[in-house]
Amino acid sequence: MQTITIIPQVGIPDHLIGEVKSKLAYVDEAIIKAQIDESGREIKLELRHPMEETSLKHLEEKVQQVVSTMTQGAIQPKIQVLEDNMAVLTPYCNDPTEELIQQCELHGETAGVFTLGPMLTRLIEFFEENFITLAASFEAKPYRFPTLIPARYLERVNYFRAFPHSLTFATHLREDLDAIDHFAQHAACDESGHLNQPPESFAKIQTLLSPAVCYHLYFSLADKPLPGGKMVATAVGNCFRYEAINLTSLERLWNFTMREIIFIGDKDFVLENREISRQRMARAFKDIGLAYRVETANDPFFIGEFRKQAAFQSAFQLKYEIRARLPFKESTLAVGSYNYHQDFFGRHLNITLPDGSPVHTGCTAFGLERMAYAFLCQYGTDFKQWPDVVREYVYG
């Protein structure tokens, strides 16, 4: 192992320290830990193995490039807080992860991939019931979507440009008897769990694991007028976002589940319903006793796209995040979001309103594992400490 310190040519402003740090995970496979000090003037990287001087120089150049691309000319977004319930008193202030592992409620399969036990499953069902009630209040139509998504779908909505770092690809063996025979005879994993098979054995990539739920609905409506000019739908699905060394416990998963309520129609229809869903959830979160706030936010765009896209999202208030309090580290975690995509999907996928103009879309999205995790960070794993509504649902 080797630790190196890099002094960025441009200081990293306070509000970008978290975003830049998360992107350092993708700079080089050798990086196993990245830290930025509070002043934004020093980056410390832990490397998997010592590196030669030329490789180190190249790594440093890549780090400098990330910092300058993300920070130069960046304007600090004005964060608007729409709800602040951070002061709700909650009884617990540890990280429940270790306890959950000991209680066989949480079992890590590989980085960012977990199985959940009966209590966590019931707790997620409790939150699901709240989200399904919200969906029913809009008479949302239920849908089921696949876990795989065609590459050409993501290409058509510019996903490759915006979030290349978090993509997960699906492939299979080529239809070739020699390749399949070779695999059957020799496939094995090394001690890090990597398959020992050559890339030539695998077919070209046509599909990925889906990074979001609502895209599937927009594609099913593509290239035609939207019947009736408006719709509300709901679905739950597996989502995949590869987060390299940022994958930690239930806080950040590679494979997680998301419940979405999706609004499609004209601008007012989408914005009004996004607002109504926020207000209805505010009441539900109050009953549950969650400490959280809702504030304007941006998506984690990749380095080159970050500055412009994030500023655009903030300026037009396209994303509100529900950030639950994590008392053990005095920070917050996004457990859900209220999103407005303007006519982005309507334009790119040619979905039209009765007057021929593109539809507007929006979605309310909840990360189910994060919801349960944030709740347990606030209330602990001892159900005697839980709010009645939750305890009664989970334990009867």
337 binds ligand 5GP (CB under 6 A): yes
Taken as a whole, the chain contains a residue count of: 396
Give the interface with Zn ion as residue ranges (CB under 5 A). Answer: 214, 260, 363, 365
Single residue of 288, 367, 375, 394 touching ligand 5GP by CB under 6 A: 367
Distances (CA, A) of 330 to 86, 325, 326: 11, 7, 6
The identity of residue 220, as a single letter, is: S
Strands (E), 153-248: 169-170, 207-209, 224-225, 231-240
Binding string, 178-207, against ligand 5GP, x = CB under 6 A? ------------------------------
Find the shortest distance in angstroms from Cβ 31 to Zn ion. 31
Which residue, 92 or 366, has its beta carbon nearer to Zn ion?
Answer: 366
Return the half-sphere exposure (C-beta side, CA atoms, 13 A cut-off) of residue 161: 7
336 binds ligand 5GP (CB under 6 A): yes
Find the shortest distance in angstroms from Cβ 33 to ligand 5GP. 18
369 binds ligand 5GP (CB under 6 A): yes
Which residue, 238 or 350, has its beta carbon nearer to ligand 5GP?
Answer: 238
Closest chain position to ligand 5GP (CB): 367
Distances (CA, A) of 377 to 18, 87, 90, 96, 325: 21, 15, 9, 6, 8
Q: Which two tokens stand for residue 294?
A: 């809702």
336 binds, among Zn ion, ligand 5GP, none (CB under 5 to 8 A by kind): ligand 5GP
Q: Which two tokens stand for residue 52?
A: 């030669």
- What is the DSSP annotation of 27-96? T-TTEEEEEE-TTSS-EEEEESS---HHHHHHHHHHHHHHHHHHHTT-----PPEEEEETT---S--S--
Single residue of 256, 285, 306, 320 touching ligand 5GP by CB under 6 A: 256
- Taking CB under 6 A as the binding criterion, the range among 47-55, 331-339, 350-358, 386-394 that sits at the site for ligand 5GP is 331-339
67 binds, among Zn ion, ligand 5GP, none (CB under 5 to 8 A by kind): none
27 binds, among Zn ion, ligand 5GP, none (CB under 5 to 8 A by kind): none
Which residue, 154 or 365, has its beta carbon nearer to Zn ion?
Answer: 365
How far apart are alpha carbons 69 and 113 in whole angstroms?
A: 31
Find the shortest distance in angstroms from Cβ 343 to ligand 5GP. 18
Find the shortest distance in angstroms from Cβ 50 to ligand 5GP. 31
Phi, psi (deg, nearest 5) at residue 297: -150, 180
- Residue 109, SS3? strand
Single residue of 290, 365, 372, 377 touching ligand 5GP by CB under 6 A: 365
- Taking CB under 6 A as the binding criterion, the range among 39-47, 139-147, 340-348, 366-374 that sits at the site for ligand 5GP is 366-374
Find the shortest distance in angstroms from Cβ 117 to Zn ion. 28
Find the shortest distance in angstroms from Cβ 32 to ligand 5GP. 19
Look-up: residue for tokens 């399969």?
Answer: 109
Which residue, 289 or 362, has its beta carbon nearer to Zn ion?
Answer: 362
How far apart are alpha carbons 57 and 29 in whole angstroms?
A: 15
Look-up: residue for tokens 């975003």?
Answer: 19
Do the beta carbons of residue 362 and residue 271 sit within 8 Å? yes
214 binds, among ligand 5GP, Zn ion, none (CB under 5 to 8 A by kind): Zn ion
Distances (CA, A) of 26 to 16, 22, 59, 244, 304: 16, 8, 11, 7, 13
How far apart are alpha carbons 389 and 379 in whole angstroms?
A: 13
Find the shortest distance in angstroms from Cβ 276 to ligand 5GP. 19
Q: Which residues in this chain contact ligand 5GP in the complex, by CB under 6 A?
A: 212, 241, 243, 250, 252-253, 256, 258, 299, 334-337, 365, 367, 369-370
